Amino acid sequence: MPTDLAKNRVLVTGGAGFLGTHVVEALRSRGARDVVVPRRAEYDLRSESVVERLYREKRPDVVIHLAAVVGGIGANRANPGSFFYDNAVMGVLLMEHARRAGVKKFVAVGTICAYPKFTPVPFREENLWDGYPEETNAPYGLAKKMLLVQAQAYRAQYGFPAIYLLPVNLYGPRDNFDPESSHVIPAIVKKCVEARDAREGKIVCWGDGSPTREFLYVADCAEGIVLAAERYEKPDPVNLGSGREISIRELTETIARETGFQGRIEWDTTKPNGQPRRCLDVTRAEREFGFKARTPFLEGLQKTIAWYEAERKRAR
């Protein structure tokens, strides 16, 4: 039977973050009023005693685990140890103590970085273990991949109802635009807007622009997560994506056009490209729980730029 989220207390780790705020909105649109969002200042999810206290105090029926230490290529290269440890220990503790607390459903949200570096395109879930992830983000990707191992092991031994989702690269309003830790779309949007306003003649981007990526609008991803929480009950991992592939070069040119930046784009080939291609097979999500991305890429990109411009104006 589907899980009625309106009748259960739902705990969303990372619920105050970029994806999390959209998931909380999607839950509330379903009638879920008992939604708990633990904040890091009160609950450090890397501490076992704190995780025990969280379950004891909040007593959730459903857990959606989104909390993660994330960043772009630069942040991953600078912090491989902490990215591995923080993400791995949070997942292990949260799922173990959810099991002990008798949680009815645990939704583990992984990452596209878990896939092997040279996965055939489109990425299919059955290819997840066919090789080692792209080196620049492997520690993060493998830490999140362990959630799948844990979920399947707990289901096999304890009958614990955990599921595992693999969202592709996200974008949208409320994204992180900090150049030290942002992903590719907010990083390029920020570069273009600031260069436009400063009347600079060029921007410099990492790599050579040849890699491809798939992007999923954040509100669509939130809808997919909530649909899976309601309807999906199997041990197999599920991709969440749009099924549309775009090169970093084309992406950068599109963002430049949409932001009004008219200077030239230079490529710093001394910097890494990251994984050569990313594009998902998204048929399992549609077949299993009816998820299909709804937001056209250009529309989502325009909303993202508009949000950033408004926030920048408000900050000034």
* Residues marked as catalytic: 140
- 248 contacts: CB under 8 Å, gap ≥ 6: 184, 205, 207, 209, 210, 211, 212, 213, 273
| Rounded CA separation 126/111 (Å) | 15
Burial 158-168 (b: 16+ CB within 10 A, else e): eebbbbbbbbb
| Rounded CA separation 106/165 (Å) | 11
- 91 contacts: CB under 8 Å, gap ≥ 6: 65, 108, 143, 144, 146, 147, 150
| Rounded CA separation 146/94 (Å) | 13
Written as six digits, the tokens of 175 are 């994204």
Written as six digits, the tokens of 308 are 């950033």
Q: Which helix (DSSP H) or strand (DSSP E) does residue 214 occupy?
A: strand 212-217
AA identity, residue 283: T
